[in-house]
Amino acid sequence: MWPIGCHLFLARDDLPRYFEWLFHNLAAVLHHEWRVGVESLDGVPSCAPGDGDRWQALRRMFVNERGGLGGSQQELFLLQAIPRSWLKPGDRLAAKRMRSYFGGQLNLDMQVARDGHSVEVSADWHLAIPPQQIRMRLRSGDGRPLHAAEINGAATPVLAGDTIRLPDAPAGKYRIVGRFAPSAG
């Protein structure tokens, strides 16, 4: 039996609990002297499902296929759970040649502006099956909400939770720019 973990928290889009699970999991189950995952604090060697779960948790921060229960079509949620501590001014994140459950692969490259007031994402994908919808979360490093966004130079609505909706096309190249609300004070 697996305890409640990252899959449930991401399905609920509950980022505080997801990050708590992830960082507690990494801190408690990795044996730092050997750099080998362990399933218990007494040093029992890790089993493949436990290691796989940790890798999937990290992968789903960038690329998360959601839904599909009861035969419904899945959605693709990009950059759903990037920690704010990874989004400091000037930081860069990338996921290259990431395989997808939709067949094909994705590339994501995110650059935080030097002043931290905006982010720019280059995204391209070639999928065999189009998702029901494609969303992307654009978070700031300091907690400011997403104020405005553009896809390939055209304004796009900002949705709840600092998300935007991308074209549902099975293939495409996009330049996404997100600007954050001015800081108070």
Helix, strand, coil percentages for the chain (3-state, nearest 5): 25, 40, 40
Q: Give the per-residue pLDDT at 184.
A: 59
Long-range contacts of 11-14 (CB under 8 A, 24+ apart): 11/66, 13/80, 13/161
Q: Give the per-residue pLDDT at 44.
A: 45
Q: Give the per-residue pLDDT at 51.
A: 64
Going from the C-alpha of 10 to that of each of 14, 33, 38, 63, 177, the distances in angstroms are 6, 31, 24, 11, 24
Residues 6+ apart with CB under 8 A from 15: 9, 81
- Quote the Cα angle for 125-62-140, to 5°: 115
Whole-angstrom Cα distance, residue 21 to residue 152? Answer: 35
SS3 8: helix
110: β partners: 93, 121
151: β partners: 154, 176
HSE (CB half, 13 Å, CA atoms) of 140? Answer: 20
Kindly give the interhelix angle for 15-29 and 48-62, rounded to the nearest 10 degrees: 140
Q: Residue 16 burial (CB < 10 Å; 0-12/13-18/19+)?
A: exposed
Q: What is the pLDDT of residues 94-123, one digit of tens each?
A: 999 999 888 899 999 999 999 999 999 999
pTM, 2 dp: 0.82
What are the chain's domains? 6-76 (no CATH), 82-180 (2.60.40)
Q: Which residues of the chain register pLDDT less than 50? A: 1, 32-35, 37-46, 48
Q: Give the per-residue pLDDT at 3.
A: 57
- Nearest in space to 98 (alpha carbons), one of 48, 49, 61: 61
Q: Give the per-residue pLDDT at 105.
A: 94
